[in-house]
């Protein structure tokens, strides 16, 4: 069998679904369950990564320092990972994360803006950390463009590089084309991180493995922004049946998923109407709460907001654009 490394961002991407309010007990309990299941890498943090706790995207229940120290203490075998978006996090945040024992550090950038990661990847290389680069909103770039930016990321010091289907917009052939092009351009492990807006996250993850991805992301019960991420306890046995060894204990993984559903989330995410629209529009799933809040206040249809954001090619970090779009749609409605 071939093998893939499972990377579990339940305690980071899942934060989007609960407005970043996971507390110490939840963080510790899930980390212990994931460690017992043999999940190789467990990622923790605010949904938008290091340094992102703010009024703009939501205050976290506990600080980065508390999150990292709690999960580091709970992990006896699994590696601990963190995520950072340049502009939210800084080199000081990265330095603190490494000091807390972060084994893997992912730097996320828009898929055609790899240069924004250069300084941070170089810093991590000097620190000796395992630096990854994640190309976000990957549906907005061609396979050739992604291959070019993957090569740049490796040149900057990334020891793994990959794509995030941040809007849940891709179909399996889209994934195959993108990962395949990147595999020809770089010789480091490739990453795939899926979202489930169109119900394709597991299929897309299997397609990514088939095209050469060696690191597959998944969250317990799909816990994540919008319709959620690739469902971890589903994708692991599907990958195993497809010929990819993960080294994860199935029963313990199912137990971890049960804990996550019971202790982390009010209900497992589903591909509801708004999530489907955001996937079709190609808009970041993490906008869901803000779109709903702003639309309700203005009396406009949130589906129209998502399609307009898609036409404007909105990306993560442009949450302020939601306010502008809602105001314009409200003005148009009043003028009719």
Nearest to 137 by CA among 324, 325, 313, 17: 313
| Nearest-angstrom CA–CA distance, 242 and 179 | 18
Pick from 53, 6, 16: nearest CA to 228: 16
What is the C-alpha to C-alpha distance for residues 134 and 116, in angstroms, rounded to an integer? 12
Nearest to 17 by CA among 265, 248, 210, 254: 265
In contact, 219 and 232? CB cutoff 8 Å: yes
Nearest CA among 280, 312, 269, 287 for reference residue 169: 280
- CB within 8 Å of 283: residues ≥ 6 apart: 167, 306, 309, 310, 314
Of the candidates 128, 15, 104, which has an alpha carbon nearest to the alpha carbon of residue 67?
A: 15
Q: Which residues contact 309 (CB under 8 A, 6 or more apart)?
A: 281, 283, 287, 291, 321, 322, 325
Minimal CA–CA distance to 33: which of 259, 286, 300, 319?
Answer: 259
| Catalytic status, residue 16 | yes
Catalytic residue among 7, 16, 20, 120: 16
Question: The tokens of 40 are what?
Answer: 């190789």
Output the DSSP codes for 99-164: HTT-SEEEEEEETT-GGGGHHHHHHHHHHT-EEEEEEESGGGS-HHHHHHHHHHHHHHT-SEEEEE
Provide the residue count of the chain: 336
Q: Please provide the DSSP assignment of 300-324 as one string.
A: --HHHHHHHHHHTT--TT-THHHHH
- Tell me which residues are annotated as active site: 16
């Amino acid at each position: 069998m071939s093998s893939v490394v499972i990377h579990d961002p339940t305690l980071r991407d899942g934060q989007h679904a609960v407005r970043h309010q996971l507390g110490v007990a939840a963080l510790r309990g899930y980390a212990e369950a994931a460690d017992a299941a043999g999940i190789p890498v467990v990622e923790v943090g605010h949904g938008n990564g290091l340094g992102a706790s703010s009024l703009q995207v939501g205050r976290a229940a506990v600080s980065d320092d508390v999150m990292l120290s709690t999960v580091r203490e709970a992990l006896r075998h699994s590696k601990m990972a963190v995520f950072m978006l340049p502009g939210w996090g800084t080199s000081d945040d990265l330095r603190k994360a490494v000091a807390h024992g972060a084994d893997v550090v992912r730097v996320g950038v828009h898929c055609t803006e790899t240069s924004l990661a250069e300084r941070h990847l170089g810093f991590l290389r000097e620190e000796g950390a395992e630096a990854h680069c994640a190309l976000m909103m990957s549906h907005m770039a061609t396979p050739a463009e992604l291959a070019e930016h993957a090569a740049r990321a490796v040149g900057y010091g990334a020891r793994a590089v990959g794509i995030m289907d941040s809007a849940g917009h891709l179909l399996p052939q889209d994934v195959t084309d993108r990962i395949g092009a990147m595999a020809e351009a770089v010789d480091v492990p490739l990453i795939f991180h899926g979202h489930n807006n169109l119900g394709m996250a597991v299929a897309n993850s299997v397609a990514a493995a088939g095209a050469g991805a060696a690191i597959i992301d998944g969250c317990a019960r799909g816990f994540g922004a919008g319709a959620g991420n690739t469902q971890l306890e589903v994708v692991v046995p599907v990958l195993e049946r497809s010929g990819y060894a993960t080294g994860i204990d199935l029963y313990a993984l199912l137990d971890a998923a049960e804990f996550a559903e019971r202790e982390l989330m009010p209900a497992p995410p589903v591909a509801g109407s708004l999530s489907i629209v955001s996937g079709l529009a190609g808009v970041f799933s993490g906008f869901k709460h803000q779109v709903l809040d702003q639309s309700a206040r203005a009396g406009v249809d949130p589906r129209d907001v998502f399609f307009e954001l898609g036409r404007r090619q909105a990306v993560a970090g442009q949450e302020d654009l939601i306010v502008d779009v809602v105001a314009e749609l409200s003005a148009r409605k009043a003028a009719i």
